[in-house]
Structure 1
Amino acid sequence: MDTDINRVVLWSAPRCLSSVFYRSIATLKKTKHFIELFSGAQYFGPDRRSDLYPSIQDSEIDLEGLSVKDLSYETMKKLLTADYSNVDLMFTKELAYCLPESMYQDMVTGRFSNFRHTFLIRDPERALYSNYKALSKHQFNDLYLDPPTGGFHELYKFYKFVKEKKGTTPVIVDAGDLQTYPDETMKVYCEAVGIPFDPKMTSWEPYSCPIAYKMWIDNWFDVLNQSSGFIKTKPGEQKPVPLHELPNEVVKRIENSRECYMEMKKECVKLLI
């Protein structure tokens, strides 16, 4: 593995603006970027752990020439640690709940020792409300949320593991800061992980991002492909989440996720504003 390549992973829970964060990083040159490799193993490959999505065909995959039978966790780890020519940065955004706890140790030792694990959080009210609405719209098996926990417990668990094993606090960004102060937030993030900041990282021309699993393009990435940058909001401008529209089970999961969010929020990057 080429140790000169800066290898950065952004871990998040669903609907925390991680895809637009990925789109921001994708504006940089000499970058090899992936999006949710472990989600492919979670939902489609031989190590499949969820039946949320139907099975897919080889023709529905656009990922380094891989077929469905190749979408294993071990293959995804090989993609992350492979050598890539003319590349300064290897970046991937991943959902923490798609990483089995049995793999935690692998992700911080050996060939992954030099990886920078970073985290993106969002107020659970906004994240889980958005996830519930999206799942309801696409009628995925009538599930309220995927994963059932909302994803914050797994995110917090892996964050604590990385912090303990590395002996330092990982970089954490709050999606609320990203929306209110996109330039300042991306500048601080980039400096913290050794990525050169470019103003184009917060404002870009719309284009269709290469998505490995084609069935997700219309379901989850249609808004991203039409975007031209972060949607900036003023402090306190966002409307309250209409919790009364949600089933009690979703509200309970929001409440159960809040402690994880608040503990990580304490360690968020400090903005220069």
Structure 2
Amino acid sequence: MANCEKSPSPKEQQVRLMIWTTPRTTSTALTKCLSFVKDSKVFFEPYLTAYFMGPDKSVSPNERGDSYPALKEEFVGWFDASQCTYKWVKEQLEGTHDGKKFILCKDMAYTVSDRFAFLPENYQHLVLIRNPLKVFPSWKILFRQIRRVSMDEYELDKLPPGLFPEGRGYKEINDLIEYLKETRNQEVIIIDADDLLQDPKGILSALFKVIGMPFEERLLSWEAGDAITREWVVAKHCLEVNQVGHMYNTAFDSTCFTKPRPLPDRRSLSPDILRCVDASIPYYNKMHARRLTAEK
């Protein structure tokens, strides 16, 4: 587990990066890719764990569902959700992490709404966005897989707010960006997932330049399977849920970024998804206009 002493001085040249996103943005594939940076340490969704499972949880057991099979294998960095308070997460992220040059954490922005006091110090922040027309259909399928109900049994935007954020995830990202700018004077890096999929070399090169690390082309492809993910600091419960929902499997099995698919036809989408899309598009467009692009 993480060393919880004070963070190292800037002289030690340790790069620390938070990735904030919504579900279904290829963020786990990006996390896997960046896990192959030499001397890296990866935290995977600890705030999401605190939000859903820890002592500070915002979701009741009846809402989230708890009947998931126990893991049969052990992972190096896993932890039990019972210790995962927001304060504990902040302390883990701010640890010294001796011997590591790159500290990465991927999480959901909506899990820190109204809890900005628990954001870690000395991190750069990246927001990964994707067109809502792609996000919400996939998000609804994810709920179907995890909760084992049909798509017709519920409306996405009428789920309890603990399960589905009131701002549909995009407002929460926008609020986080504004907080970091106004309170910490930090400019957030914004990447569109489809830009990353279309030109991974260009986008990753631009990202590494911004965060102050040398880019290596070997990061454009990686080994299939979950071997590298077994070194992540991740809640045991997240992996147990994945055995049912399979939400990480595509990313775990990936070997590279694949070209993006075209946007779906609005006429093919259900009314609840369209309501979510229409409420989120203004936030998405605002962030998309400020996104990081590949250098020409």
**What is the aligned partner in structure 1 of residue 266 from structure 2?**
243
User: Are residues 1:147 and 2:159 paired?
Assistant: no
Contiguous gaps of at least 5 residues in structure 1: none
Deviation (angstroms), 1:65:
5.9
Say if 2:37 and 2:219, in contact at 8 Å, map to a contact too: yes
Instruction: Describe the SS at the equivalent of 1:215.
Output: helix
**What is the aligned partner in structure 2 of residue 72 from structure 1?**
85
Residue 35 (structure 2) aligned to one of 23, 26, 32: 26
Deviation (angstroms), 1:244:
3.3
CA deviation string 1:50-91 (max 9, x = no partner): 24433489x659574633320211111111011212101110
Which range moved further: 244-253 or 171-180? 244-253
**What is the aligned partner in structure 1 of residue 116 from structure 2?**
104
Q: Which amino acid aligns with 1:181?
A: D
Deviation (angstroms), 1:226:
1.1
**What is the aligned partner in structure 2 of residue 228 from structure 1?**
255
Say if 1:119 and 1:173, in contact at 8 Å, map to a contact too: yes
Counterpart CA distance in 1 for 2:155 and 2:84 is 26
Deviation (angstroms), 1:168:
4.6
User: Are residues 1:253 and 2:264 paired?
Assistant: no
**What is the aligned partner in structure 1 of residue 17 from structure 2?**
8
CA deviation string 1:155-193 (max 9, x = no partner): 111011112223353111111100111110011011111
Counterpart CA distance in 2 for 1:55 and 1:185 is 39
Between the aligned residues of both structures, percent identity stands at 20
Say if 1:25 and 1:201, in contact at 8 Å, map to a contact too: yes
Aligned length: 264
Counterpart CA distance in 2 for 1:121 and 1:183 is 18
Counterpart CA distance in 2 for 1:74 and 1:62 is 23
Counterpart CA distance in 2 for 1:223 and 1:245 is 24
TM-score, structure 1 length as denominator? 0.87
* Aligned CA distance change for structure 1 residues 140 and 259 (closer, same or farther; 3 Å): farther
Instruction: Describe the SS at the equivalent of 1:41.
Output: helix
* Aligned CA distance change for structure 1 residues 84 and 154 (closer, same or farther; 3 Å): same
Identify the structure with bigger relative contact order (alpha carbons < 8 Å, sequence gap 6+).
2
Say if 1:14 and 1:150, in contact at 8 Å, map to a contact too: no
* Aligned CA distance change for structure 1 residues 187 and 143 (closer, same or farther; 3 Å): farther
